[in-house]
Structure 1
């Protein structure tokens, strides 16, 4: 049981260490482009998978995990149209990588290789694990004369520059002697070779302890020590190809992984290669390019790669600028701007595709809100005159995706983020602003310069309420604003020097005209006041506010006050109304109303409005058995009477005299006026019922009807 527990515990510790190294690599990852659209990773036999970096999804390729005998690769993808990503042997090419070899030092293995190839397997090419690094040939026998056979197991029609983190120089292992030569058997190294060329696999007998051991050594070309390999850090690699001189050049550790700044000291070498080693496939000009890697039976590592640029995807000239729109000057680290100056971070992109059908896919911009900038918005504009707005940021991060990509026809884009320099009590330096841009086939990090802000006063007026108020006809509108020095509070004495100026519908008003004013309390510089209803016209009213004084002005606030016109409505309409009962005696009668005729009109529109009440009969008076009444209702007035039928009859016309007035029409009738019921002399006794419909309408001018 003790042995079982010991083995289980050892494996658990190893797994924890491996996961910790991978987690460290991810959290410290530089910036790289997404790899899922223009690179192939689903290769049979490959252990490679894509991981998310802290900023860009699927931008890390884990070529191998830290496990024994793993092999992986990532290849440029060749697809139709705007996704070409090929190494052009006839043009100058440059690729930039970030490589991570794990943190195990001399125990790491086996390493990775930059490869250009035209294998028949295309973007699914893969060789063996271990010392083969996924690209070199595989040794299965130490018999002499097998160089051709070994070369055939390598990736065909290829170049390879290896970054070998583990020395394979043990002559006692059949597949472990590629580094047996003097130049490579002592230290990890960077070296070049042609994997499918048999002349690079040398059968080498060697006297060891009095007996001859024979195995195959890989002939390394331009072997140089690999410094700072598996040290738990990311290392930048730039590969450059010149087709005229046929020189392939590498620059290793040429950038700082934390800042992306170019280093003055780095490792580099240049060597001439044979284009015909690659240009023997179906395409004499273009080839696949990528990274392979492997682990061995005893030496493993998290071999990771990121790609930060590639001329095969087109050339992008990208630059960052900072402009002071107020002074019309460019801002540098030596520039001092004034509080309140309008500053614009401007990013210029110019795209030159390597193929007329290529396209730079729409980019996503992520940028922390620059320190000390009150961002008001921005814009993206393209060379074909299309534009799109960047909304004001809601939080500490600006993130926006372009709606357009760039192409040969639409080759230029300008991104602007604009805001005002916030005030400070004394001069300070605002730090450089870093913006990331990434899309399916490109990424870059652009840094705009730092600058200084002079101490001073920047009056900023903020609306603490709504931009639009819906105000009922009789209501007042309560407005609340605050005056500050940018985002810094102002003391009461300073606020008093910059009084609030008001304009309502173009007419200037003093704050003293309104109830309320400057509020005392925990929020100095806060105003709260009321706009009375009688100053608001029906519909929209525009209120503009600004603080001014001592030749300084704040920003202007515009508030819309929408006043309701009020309503004209029935206060009450009787659902059932009746007339007095009467005994028939053979004479014509006029029946009076009972007390259930409550008819009220409410008019909230003000004294300048008029209304008209009308009525018509929709159902004549009948008994439940359908017997019609011999008679009809009449509208009785001092000037006579008018029968009510299915035609509209005016009952009352009236102008409103006050706000919110209610007129009870039935109370204006006397006992012998209003609606009465005429019963004919030959009427038949019974209970009769009918229906009246009331109509209420606005009348602009009672005199004209």
Structure 2
């Protein structure tokens, strides 16, 4: 166990000197966990964050034997690492991002997003806390005493130490305090031990600091004092001006003896042990630089508890404040600064840890999500007051935006889909117009999609829109609230999160029939070209608070919306309690149908916006498959040589096939000899035609059984193809002349046919 330096002096009796905590009595209902037990809890509940090896410098204090208690924890299963500043009593920890790579840029917007853990224990019996610090004093920066020895406890390793005594002027008391703080710095403290004792005698006050004594909380109610609460506050630690960061307060019986308190600015307070409650606390720090060269004033806004530590979901009861930061107080002229954390403990210990989601200057990125109901044609955001019916087609729209940074961001999407949302497609569209189609078969596990963006986001290509289309499953009861889900977009340079909005799903069932013949239910129908198609259906809406007894049939054919059709009230029965039942009929005009496969989608919407499931059916329009131009005759001519020959055709042979059934249809051309080739001048003498698919194929004799001569899959809705166009002198139909053939004129007849068959 590491221990800090304990300094003792005698003032009548033995007492802890300098920053010692006053003893606060309390009645504990339960025994606090040991430091080891508390650390195990912190690591087990640690939210997902960045691996940080190589980002930070943990200095060794060279001016004394004081140990730096800060360390970086080993990586968890998902690669997360934490900065641990303290783990026990009497410790001082400091850690700084490497300025050459990960500096805080005072000239540009910066964002830090992190999780902080302050231990688990009662108010008054915990360590001192941590501070987020921007500074230009270097890696060795820490609070020191008048001899240059690093100091912790109430200083948190950043504020000044009041150890110059016997001074009778308040201004003289303040100057050494500011001089012994971290120079050229601004600090945001997370004070978990309120130092608020009041000293009424010179002997008590001499040499003590009670930074929190007597400080009031603006708007805190009942003049609430900081000395009673764990709190967050900000100031310039090195400020030596009287009444700036520090006050010199006289003891009541001797106005020339002072103790020091702090001017808490930009304060946030909470009740009880709200920081040391054994939970992780999310902090977002947003820095806005000076607007232009006419001012040196920027702004830091800090928000605590803005995310749920278990789910990462954004919380609405976050506390926030801001501080006007004068950059001249911290800038060394370069516009860049060190940044990091300090932390300390005294006679009480505390586990102080930090996990990072976004590091200042590295990647500043945001993620958001909205939900649209495409069935109901509702593009606006859906919430608990917006009706969604089971089976509705929904669209999740995630937006990732790279705001600024010095590193590219190629996040892995960890998208948690809402309960009952069944995806059927996911596409990423980048700012440069390129797209990435997500393979759901690979990416989806249960209600989560995991995939990595195809290319990085940066200041040039700064956005990615992830569009996920799907359908909402029917709830098992009349209605169900779909709770918020949090999705993360993670790489080693930064993490962004997005939360869906809760919404309510109502139960809906529908019966859909094409033609409605004999009560059969069809998913598709085949019809002839130039024929209208009549669609009959039944619907039911139940479980939803429908108030208007009126319904409209809506939908589309091949993506083109149909004209809305009000369903006659005589075709609807039911009430708002039990639900409504109805029938509908819709005729799809032939003019709306293309040759081949068509998609019909219909749904019913109540007058007050509640919508049934979408009814999707295929309408297959079969245009004719027929012959086009076909040569009536073809001839073969050869001089007999007494040897076997395969004689080619005398000229081209046109056999056109016209297919109007739509792209992707397949056909086969079949042929057989209706009459064999027979000599007209030599009775009973015959010859054969043979078919060769390639020059080295074995010839197949064309006989009385049909043989496949050609095949094709169409490439358009009106496809005409010459089945013989690829034949040459060695392929196609050839005349087979034997060595003993008799000279003469031979005639015969071929019968052609078309089959609807795979190619």
In the other structure, the counterpart of 2:342 is: 292
In the other structure, the counterpart of 2:132 is: 114
In the other structure, the counterpart of 2:432 is: 384
Residue 444 in structure 1 maps to residue 511 in structure 2: no
CA distance in 2, matches of 1:215, 1:369: 61
Q: 1:375 to 1:207 in 2, by over 3 A?
A: same
Residue 40 in structure 1 maps to residue 90 in structure 2: no
In the other structure, the counterpart of 2:350 is: 301
CA distance in 2, matches of 1:247, 1:353: 18
Cα-Cα RMSD: 5.4
- Specify which of 43, 58, 61 is matched with residue 80 of structure 2: 58
Aligned residues: 479
In the other structure, the counterpart of 1:411 is: 462
**TM-score, reference length from structure 2:** 0.51
In the other structure, the counterpart of 2:209 is: 177
Q: Retained in 2: the 8 A contact 1:163–1:226?
A: no
- Residue pairs, 1:357-506, within 5 angstroms: 358-392=406-440, 393-424=444-475, 427-429=478-480, 430-457=482-509, 497-498=520-521
Q: Retained in 2: the 8 A contact 1:87–1:288?
A: no
CA distance in 1, matches of 2:488, 2:518: 41
Residue 346 in structure 1 maps to residue 397 in structure 2: yes
In the other structure, the counterpart of 1:567 is: none
CA distance in 2, matches of 1:205, 1:267: 33
Q: Retained in 2: the 8 A contact 1:30–1:257?
A: no
SS in 2 for 1:108: coil
SS in 2 for 1:104: coil
1:407 offset after TM fit, Å?
A: 1.7
Residue 196 in structure 1 maps to residue 196 in structure 2: no
CA distance in 2, matches of 1:329, 1:168: 56
CA distance in 1, matches of 2:460, 2:266: 45
Residue 102 in structure 1 maps to residue 119 in structure 2: yes
**Gaps (5+ residues) in structure 1?**
1-12, 461-493, 504-543, 557-607, 609-651, 658-698
SS in 2 for 1:353: strand
**TM-score, reference length from structure 1:** 0.55
Residue 217 in structure 1 maps to residue 244 in structure 2: no
- Residue pairs, 1:537-616, within 5 angstroms: 553=616
- Specify which of 330, 338, 341 is matched with residue 278 of structure 1: 330
Residue 156 in structure 1 maps to residue 172 in structure 2: no
Deviations 1:312-347 (A, max 9, x none): 456545321223345543251244445544322111
Q: Retained in 2: the 8 A contact 1:499–1:548?
A: no
In the other structure, the counterpart of 2:192 is: 165
CA distance in 1, matches of 2:83, 2:450: 25
1:448 offset after TM fit, Å?
A: 2.5
Deviations 1:226-282 (A, max 9, x none): 4223222344445455635837565554635357445457464x5555432212x24
Q: 1:156 to 1:455 in 2, by over 3 A?
A: same
CA distance in 2, matches of 1:287, 1:25: 30
Deviations 1:533-567 (A, max 9, x none): xxxxxxxxxxx9x99999955689xxxxxxxxxxx
1:370 offset after TM fit, Å?
A: 2.9
In the other structure, the counterpart of 1:69 is: 90
1:192 offset after TM fit, Å?
A: 3.4
1:48 offset after TM fit, Å?
A: 3.0
Deviations 1:57-112 (A, max 9, x none): 426433322x12333344444455xxx55241x45655454433212122111111
1:350 offset after TM fit, Å?
A: 2.9
In the other structure, the counterpart of 2:159 is: 136
CA distance in 2, matches of 1:451, 1:414: 22
CA distance in 2, matches of 1:273, 1:425: 55
Q: Retained in 2: the 8 A contact 1:72–1:134?
A: yes
SS in 1 for 2:157: coil
Q: 1:53 to 1:345 in 2, by over 3 A?
A: farther
CA distance in 2, matches of 1:299, 1:361: 41
In the other structure, the counterpart of 1:324 is: 373
SS in 2 for 1:378: strand
**Gaps (5+ residues) in structure 2?**
1-29, 61-67, 145-149, 198-202, 216-225, 527-596, 604-613, 620-670, 672-697, 704-731, 739-759
1:371 offset after TM fit, Å?
A: 1.8
Q: 1:321 to 1:207 in 2, by over 3 A?
A: closer
Q: 1:397 to 1:133 in 2, by over 3 A?
A: same
